[in-house]
Amino acid sequence: MPANLRPRPTACTEQPAAALGPEGPFPRVRLRKVLERRWLHYAFLSRDHELGMVANVAWLGPGLEAEDAPPRCTSILLVHKRGEGWCASQFNTQTSTPLWSAFQQPHNLHTPEPLTLTSTSASPAVELQLSRSSRPCTSQSAWFAPDQHLRWQSETGVIARGRWTFKDQTFDNVEAIGYHERVRGYWGWPELGGWVFGFANDPGGASDQPPPTAFVFTLIQPRGPGDTATGSVMVWRNGRLRRHFPRRCVTFAVRGQLQRDKVQQVPALSNLFGVPPMEPIPQQLMISARMGDDWVTYDYHCDAAARVVIPSETSLRPFSVHEVIGPVHVEGCISGEHFTFDTYGIVEFAGGADDC
Amino acid sequence: MTSKEQAKELPLEDLALLAGLQRGNDWLRAVLCTLARRGLGFRQQHPARAEQLLAALSRYPYFKAGQFLFDLMEWEDFMLDGEVPPLAPTTLDGPALQRMAGLLNTFRAHLDGAEPMVVPEVDTLLPLFVPEDEDLPALEPSLYLYHEVVLGILCSVRPLLQVQTPPDGKGPSPTD
């Protein structure tokens, strides 16, 4: 059983339980084709902005010829310490089972449950108790290529408390706030093209409450057919998704390039494999969304980046996901209610498998 | 009181309610999966035609709204989760199409006073999907199931459209 799938709890009565839908983050169906994918994504920033982490646990179909083989699993953990850079595992981070997910049902708010991720070299590592404080956005999908697709669902305001290990330093009782996401679908990296994705949680407010405001954006840029690029901006207020700005209401702009010595390539083994040069990362990302009288802006400055090199199953060039941490200013107005906050955010600039 | 104790004390009326929801759920899942399997069967037999149809429909407001609803309800996960449901061969069969056509006609008459309140005649002896359903392909996680469901609906309503001739008489003939 894949680690993400929680065994059904022992029935506490003799009466059969009603199963009215999937209990976990993914449907109970076996992955078969190589490009059938799932992953659970975690990203957190400590409230003092000193520490940040990104983790991804992914499953891939074993291939039709593999018959009953289990899905292939890769897991990576990156921890960032301000001023000291990134520390990353290989693609074999050890994970606690079952993996925490806000998309387990039922799943109560403010109920801590564990998530432990440990590099096989013991660093980086996190031992966290995670609590959801908010509600997820609507499940969304992008279709392209023309028979490939990606489905995702995001949840902001996830509270993480626990121990972080960065190189030889250990930090206890760190409180962080972040983001969780489930993704599934069927795609090749060249066809997917690229994406820009990111979030920010207002760090203000009580630690046992959802962030007063949270911001998530997505821009997916498949190479075809036609106009299949999609994107959106979502704004949560006090744990509830309040506005979903569709693609036609959102503009993205970038300026400058991040200095290349601020980008670290991970996992470390990728440096041995003649990986092609990376794409430049913008210095600044500006997103604005407006729908009627509601508007929001996200003014983000890239500060430090890790380039995660992901082998592509169907192209020679790898797919690169640049995990970027930097300060952000968020401002907006929804239903006449003005809000503004400054914090650090995590942004991903991804692509490159289809470049010639 | 713990949640386990509460669960032990669920009264019979609650269990009956959940069982009723479960039956409705199972039925809906069987209907959706039947439509998707019809659509997949059609796509496998006519891949270019299926792509053309989906490309044309992608601008149709009802298609866009349907996709939003499909995502909102998380129906793809719902359809794939667990054991494969049995086929529901009476999904959008002749009698169902007749009732559906009547419903849509009534709605149109309520929206537009010039439209008559008539139930269109549908030949309920039109070829149904029962024989073809037996050989329908299985669903896979690689499929974008909204498209398969839409194709399945198109396949199912096609017999109805073939016998409906517009007032100008220029509609497609049953043999098109």
| Rounded average pLDDT over A325-329 | 97
- A15 assigned to some structural domain: no
Q: How far is B134 from chain A (nearest CA, A)?
A: 22
Give the one of A15, A20, A36 whose C-beta lies nearest to B22's C-beta.
Answer: A20
Going by DSSP bridges, is the β-strand pair A304-310/A263-266 parallel, antiparallel, or unpaired? parallel
Q: Is residue A21 part of a domain?
A: no
Contacts of B36 in chain A (CB under 8 A): none
Q: Does A316 touch chain B (CB under 8 A)?
A: no
Query: Which pLDDT band, with edges at 50, 70 and 90, does A184 fall under?
Result: very high
Asked whether residue A16 is domain-assigned, the answer is no
| Any A CB within 8 A of B144 CB | yes
| pLDDT, average across residues A208-226 | 92
Q: Is A139 on the interface with B (CB under 8 A)?
A: yes
Where in the sequence is the domain holding A209, given as residue range(s)? 32-351
Count of A–B CB contacts within 8 Å? 82
On whether any CB of chain A is under 8 Å from the CB of B26, the answer is no
Whether B67 has its CB under 8 Å from any CB of chain A: the answer is yes
Torsion A132-A138-A142-A143 (CA) sign: positive
Q: B71 vs A140: CB contact, 8 Å cut-off?
A: yes
Nearest to B77 among A27, A33, A186 (CB): A27
Cβ neighbours of A143 in B, within 8 Å? 144, 147
The answer to whether position A27 is within a domain reads: no
Cβ-nearest to B81 among A22, A35, A140: A22
| Best CA proximity match to A329, nearest among A300, A289, A296 | A300
B25 touches chain A (CB under 8 A): yes
d(CA A28, nearest CA chain B) in Å: 5
Q: How confident is the model at residue B122 (pLDDT cuts 50, 70, 90)?
A: low
Is B22 an 8 Å CB contact of chain A?
yes
Lowest mean pLDDT among A161-170, A227-236, B131-140: B131-140
The residue-averaged pLDDT of A297-324 equals 95
Q: Specify whether the CB–CB gap between B39 and B146 falls below 8 A.
A: no
How far is it, in rounded angstroms, from Cα A29 to Cα B84?
9
Please give the distance of CA B116 from its chain centroid, rounded to a whole number: 26
What is the pTM assigned to this prediction? 0.89
Query: Is there a contact between A29 and B25 if contact means CB atoms under 8 Å apart?
Result: no
**Interchain proximity B143–A186, CB inside 8 Å:** yes
Do you know the residue count of chain B? Answer: 176
Scanning every residue of chain A, which has its alpha carbon at the shortest distance from the alpha carbon of B68? A140
Query: Among residues A207, A138, A215, which one has the least CA distance to residue A174?
Result: A207
Q: Is the pLDDT of residue A134 over 60?
A: yes
Share of chain B above pLDDT 70, in %: 76
CB atoms within 10 A of CB A87: 25
Is A106 inside any structural domain?
yes
DSSP, res A123:
-
**Residue pair B61/B96 in contact by the 8 Å Cβ criterion:** no
* pLDDT of res. A4: 44
Q: What is the mean pLDDT of residues A222-243?
A: 91
Query: How far B87 CA lies from chain A's nearest CA (Å)?
Result: 18
Q: What pLDDT score was predicted for residue B77?
A: 95
Q: Which positions in chain A touch B67 (Cβ < 8 Å)? A: 141
Nearest Cα to A298, choosing from A256, A254, A247, A237? A254
Which residues lie closer than 8 Å to A63 by C-beta, 6 or more apart? A32, A33, A34, A69
Say how many domains are in chain A: 1
Instruction: Report yes or no on A17 lying in a domain.
Output: no
Under 8 Å between Cβ of A347 and A285: yes
> Is A282 inside any structural domain?
yes
Q: Is A37 in contact with A183 (CB distance < 8 Å)?
A: yes
* CATH number of residue A174's parent domain: 2.40.370.10
| Neighbouring C-beta atoms of residue A15, cutoff 10 Å | 15
- Residue contact A143–B141, C-beta within 8 A: no
Read off the pLDDT of residues A14-45 as tens digits, 9 standing for 90 and up.
Answer: 555 678 999 999 999 999 999 999 999 999 99
Look at strands A72-81 and A148-166 and give their pairing: unpaired
Q: Distance from first CA to last CA of chain A, Å, rounded?
A: 39
In the predicted model, is pLDDT for residue B75 greater than 50?
Answer: yes
Interface test with B, best of A5, A10, A12 (most B CBs within 10 A): A12
* Residue A67 pLDDT level (bands cut at 50, 70, 90): confident
A8 CB near a chain B CB, below 8 Å? no
Contacts of B18 in chain A (CB under 8 A): 18, 20
Which tens digits make up the pLDDT trace of A68-105?
Answer: 899 999 999 999 999 999 999 999 999 998 999 999 88
Which secondary-structure segment (H or E) carries B85?
A: none
Q: What is the mean predicted confidence (pLDDT) over B132-149? A: 89
> Is the model's pLDDT at A11 over the cut of 80?
no
| Per-chain mean pLDDT for chain B | 83
Residue with structure tokens 């909102």?
Answer: B72
Q: Does residue A200 carry a pLDDT above 90?
A: yes
User: Pairing state of beta strands A140-144 and A125-132?
Assistant: unpaired
Supply the mean pLDDT for chain A: 92
Q: B145-173 pLDDT, tens per residue?
A: 999 999 999 988 886 666 555 555 454 44
pLDDT at residue B176 in the model:
39
B153 touches chain A (CB under 8 A): no
| A58: phi then psi, degrees, rounded to nearest 5 | -125, 150
Q: Select from B72, B81, B141 the Cβ nearest to the Cβ of A36.
A: B141
In chain A, which residue's Cα lies nearest the Cα of B14?
A: A18
Name, in order, each residue with C-beta under 8 angstroms of B131's C-beta and a sequence gap of 6 or more.
none
Question: What is the reported pLDDT for A276?
Answer: 85
The pLDDT score that the predictor gives to residue A273 is 84
Mean pLDDT check: name the lowest of A98-102, A224-228, B24-28: A224-228
What pLDDT, on a 0 to 100 scale, did the predictor assign at position B175?
A: 41
Residues of A in contact with B8 (CB under 8 A): 12-13
In a domain, residue A111? The reply is yes
Neighboring chain B residues of A30 at a CB cutoff of 8 Å? 141
What are the tokens at A331?
């401002």
Q: Which residues contact A166 (CB under 8 A, 6 or more apart)?
A: A51, A79, A80, A81, A84, A87, A123, A124
Residue that the structure tokens 């037999």 belong to: B45
pLDDT on residue A331: 98
Closest Cα of chain B to A303: distance in Å?
35
